[in-house]
Amino acid sequence: MKVLIEYYDKDVLKNIVAPLTLQPDVVVYLHDKGMTDKNVFRSLKTCFAKSMPNIKLESIPVDIRSVEKLRQATFRVAERYGAENCTLELTGGSELMMIAGYKAGLQTGMQMVHTDLVNRCINNVETDEKVCDTVTLTLENFLDAKGAELMGESHRPPQPERYEDIKRMAQFLFRNLQEWKVTCSWLQTVVSWGLPHELHLDSKRNVHMKNGKPVAPVKEILFELQRRGFIKHLEWENDRVSFDFRSIEDKQYCISYGVWLELHVYVAAASSGAFEDVKLGTMIDWDIYDGTRMGGNEIDVVLMDDSLPVFISCKLREADTAALNELLIAKKRLGGWFSKGLIATFSKEKQENTGTYMRCQDLGLEMLDARDILAEDFSDRLVRAIREHDLVSLKWKKV
């Protein structure tokens, strides 16, 4: 029987990497006796059970202020299971836990290891030799360990064969934002008069929105939507316009002003081949045990980069403090310190070194602005921004 002894940590990565890598029969967590939410261990077992269906998990409350009591508690676990069957991981928990654990490890002779999260390996504490490389984590691992789950995506992700058309359409709209804003308002107004599943549109060019303001589409925008395959059978005659949306998804794209930046970022991330679990418009239920199914704020794009979750917020306008705080909360809630946040904003925040950009850096977030978004190599810039935002920079350069 293989037993892994862990000190519970507030950062989920420290709690799950070693168990998922070493695949023990039993995981024993020693934790602060002041903890009241035991669903955290229920969630950890759910995370482990998908790859280790017979896993046993124990949680033992201890006084984390006393080195001696921590040592005794660790010693008792090793004595109960047999020190030769136990591995003690000295990665999570407080400094006193580390000291107590090392003392217990020396006393019992059990193997002691440390997980190097930067270099993605597990090392023997006493010899500094590598025991093994760590496994690659998925977004599902983090969600399960936090007691959360995906509630779905607000927009169905496009198929790879549509990537080039989406990229070109998005760049066209970004260069003609005012015309797109007017045309999108017209589309939203006219579509609201029909049925949700209806794909045919036939309307006067000049209509009035609910607030009474007149609005009309820009011809070039509609013809570009047709050229890129989002609408078809476009007829522009006299004072009327008619066409068909190619699908319900395309209809949703055409009536959503800001979704094009989300699509542009999603396509750049997905087509790069650098990331796993790239998702668009993700809704997360942060507490699956509270009896209500309710999602938090929508995350525009979320992906996994080298076993770390990355949250991307897309703003087809200037960013503000509220947007930065929302992104910060989302990334900390799932990945804690071991997660990344990036905001893509169609503005000049970064190139002009504005207060918002400086605030972004203070919060440990990355930013891409209009110059990056309009660049032909946007996908490379996105990959570079995420990859250079590594664990070392998070520890020593960011807050």
Mean pLDDT confidence for 260-271: 97
State yes or no: pLDDT of 272 exceeds 80: yes
DSSP state string for 68-136 = HHHHHHHHHHHHHH-GGGEEEE-SSS-HHHHHHHHHHHHHH--EEEEEETTTTEEEETTT--EEEEPPP
- Residue 322 C-alpha from the chain's centroid: 18
Average pLDDT for the chain: 93
Instruction: Give residue 333's pLDDT.
Output: 83
State yes or no: pLDDT of 395 exceeds 80: no
Spans of all domains in the chain: 3-135, 151-155+258-396, 160-254
Q: What is the pLDDT of residues 22-79, one digit of tens each?
A: 999 999 999 999 998 889 999 999 999 999 999 999 999 999 999 999 999 999 999 9
- Residue 277's Cβ-count burial label (10 Å; 0-12, 13-18, 19+) is middle
Q: What is the pLDDT of residues 208-224, one digit of tens each?
A: 998 999 999 999 999 99
Phi, then psi, of 232 in degrees rounded to 5? -145, 170
How many angstroms separate the CA atoms of 120 and 129, rounded? 14
By percentage, how much of the chain surpasses pLDDT 70? Answer: 96
State yes or no: pLDDT of 252 exceeds 60: yes
Instruction: Give residue 296's pLDDT.
Output: 66
State yes or no: pLDDT of 397 exceeds 60: no
State yes or no: pLDDT of 398 exceeds 60: no
Instruction: Give residue 339's pLDDT.
Output: 87
Q: What is the pLDDT of residues 307-345, one digit of tens each?
A: 899 999 999 999 998 999 999 988 888 877 788 999 999
Task: Tell me the whole-structure pTM to 2 decimals.
Answer: 0.90
Instruction: Give residue 394's pLDDT.
Output: 62
Q: What is the pLDDT of residues 124-159, one digit of tens each?
A: 999 999 999 999 999 999 999 999 988 877 788 899
Spell out the alpha helix ranges (H) of 277-389: 321-335, 355-362, 370-373, 378-387
By percentage, how much of the chain surpasses pLDDT 90? Answer: 80
Question: CATH assignment of 151-155+258-396?
Answer: 3.40.1350.10
Question: CATH assignment of 160-254?
Answer: 1.10.10
Fold of 3-135: Rossmann fold (3.40.50)
Mean pLDDT confidence for 264-291: 92
Mean pLDDT confidence for 162-167: 97
Instruction: Give residue 92's pLDDT.
Output: 93
Asked if residue 141 lies in contact with residue 135, where contact means CB atoms within 8 angstroms, the answer is no
State yes or no: pLDDT of 376 exceeds 90: yes
State yes or no: pLDDT of 200 exceeds 60: yes
Name 323's Cβ contacts closer than 8 Å, sequence gap at least 6: 313, 315, 343, 345
State yes or no: pLDDT of 286 exceeds 80: yes
Q: What is the pLDDT of residues 76-132, one digit of tens each?
A: 999 999 999 999 999 999 999 999 999 999 999 999 999 998 889 999 999 999 999
State yes or no: pLDDT of 228 exceeds 90: yes
Instruction: Give residue 120's pLDDT.
Output: 92
